[in-house]
Structure 1
Amino acid sequence: MSIPLSAGATLHPLAVPARADAADAGEFRELARVRNLVYRELTGRDEQDLSPAELLPRLRSREEQTTLVWTARLADEMIGRVVVDLPHEAGSRVAIATIELRPLAWGRGIGRAILPHVEEAARAHGRRVIQNWTEQPTADGARLESPTGHGSVPNDHVARFLTRSGFSLEQVYRISLLDLDDVARARSAELLAEAEAASSGYRVVRWTLPTPAEHLDGYAWLKSRMSTDAPSADLDADEEAWDAARVRRMEQRQAEAGHTLQVTAAQHIVTGELAAFTELGTGTSGSTTTIQHDTLVLREHRGHRLGLRVKCAALQSWTAVAPTSQRVITYNAEENRPMLAINEAIGFTARAYEGAWKKELT
């Protein structure tokens, strides 16, 4: 059933198909194409590209969250999508909403007409906070400063839409890129030696998913701590409960998407505890840009240069996993200076910024 919006646009609930190549999955495949187009038009880059088969596991509801999906159309043309994720963490107040429209549809009031439907869905599921993460293209001119005192985003069309819609900027993420060339490999090898000297009480362990049984619980604990130990400003950060079963479900989604994910961790030699980790992943083609996913050093193990050690050790081994991948992209909160200092030392450079926004529903 279509929902009329403005300027002749309509919103359409999407039933996520069982398979991306199914006969009835044509609308989903078109959504994947338009999604990639939106990101390319907004950022000028293609690291976010996903095939329909890669996108499908991300949009399917699962034990940890419910995901609602709509497509936006202008006449007969799909111009964007809307996604609302509803985490199932105990007591969660949060709905994570994404409204993505092609720039050709901007300025017609379509986004403003979509927002009440997003809010209605959030309220229907007992949520009182909507959060949104949006990358904004680099631009000169006025900027909005993060209330954390670290970072800013352009006060552009995206920012004006969000502020006029009742959202407040809470945090800024830096998007950084590293060229995987001989210079970067030599630099990371040198830094790895320095980090090893400062962390003699630890060893590096590494695996490509699936996780070995002896590391399942430790890896699950590290993933849980990502939700509490990483900087989150004044956002409502749900404490995620990870266990071995949740890790296995995540691994199944990665396998379904055809993705490779390598985990590099620092293990405390005396206790055997996993103390730090980083993840590097790539898509179905090993030549795509590598994504650095979660990276964390447990608070009780900080001060031994473990973040530098796991990141450099991961980069040193990554060539054997994805020898044709030419770049790594990573996202970090601007106030996370320890991690940004590591990235800068390795050679990552800032390319863009992403705002984390919040709206309290009355």
Structure 2
Amino acid sequence: MMALFWQGLLLAILVAAMSVNADMKVDCRPDYVTLVWRENRNPVDPSHFRLGNCLPTSFSGREVIFTVGFNDCNFRRLVTGNQLIHSNDLMHISSPDSHELSFTHQVVCSYERPKDWYPPTYNPVFNTFGQGAMVFHIGLMNEDFSGPAESTSFPLGSFIPIMASVELQSHQPLLLLLDECVAAATPELNPGSDLYPIITNKGCLVDSKTSRSKFEPRQKSSEIQLSLQAFKFAIGKEVYLHCQLVAWDPVGLDHTKKACNYIKNHGWELVDNPAYSNLCDCCDSTCKSRKMRSTASGKLGLVKKAVLGPFTITENP
């Protein structure tokens, strides 16, 4: 598997511009990177350099060298489309009495993502159509949403991090919403299926009324993150989330296109703009659907059903 993984190794990308008196070389390898910063005029002080939270591994005269693994130094990992990207920041931290300026350069290693990079529980990918192709993703994440979950087993009461996203490609910017989500013990919903409601009423996180579940603050309009507290449903059995994803015009929020958390002793709050939390007032009654507005009217809405799972919820030891 690892041999196949690295067949698609691509060149490293240097995003920031180099100083006129220095140059930076990056050598991306399968599971580590070597970075060399060289000053062309003056000797360097290695104590002033950091790659993430790591000091240089070696230095010599005008060079500082980092040889570090992607699991170290606070590397960020992003998987999007057909790419696996590791990124970090090279920082120069000047002392207060120094005439040198502090600076930051981004370092990126990009690889082709093999089809088997995610376990099957993490890789439901859905194609849809609109003004250019779009791809929807939904998956289980690790605690800080920086990569896929390492386990699909969650103790009762712990958090299940979930992220959904849409690749916009040639589309106008869109806002991704989780319109509906229910948990079931089967990958397909049947009339007699036992269900546990999580998101209902066009974006109302009803589970947040009785738990610590919440939509996280949005990082990108095309992504939505959900911290779902593991619930007492189908304990020890396979659980599937059946969700409806909506990609919508970001200026088109209304009572039927929204993401709402319930805040204890406060009430319903709109995630994207609490000043308009009145859009969530219908969460305790009925948020009436309206027909999708056409692209000709300047509004765009695309809906996709998705199934995430299986994962298991276990009793606490």
1 or 2 for the larger relative contact order (CA 8 Å, sep ≥6)? Answer: 1
The alignment's TM-score, normalised by the length of structure 2, stands at 0.30
Q: Which has the higher helix share?
A: 1
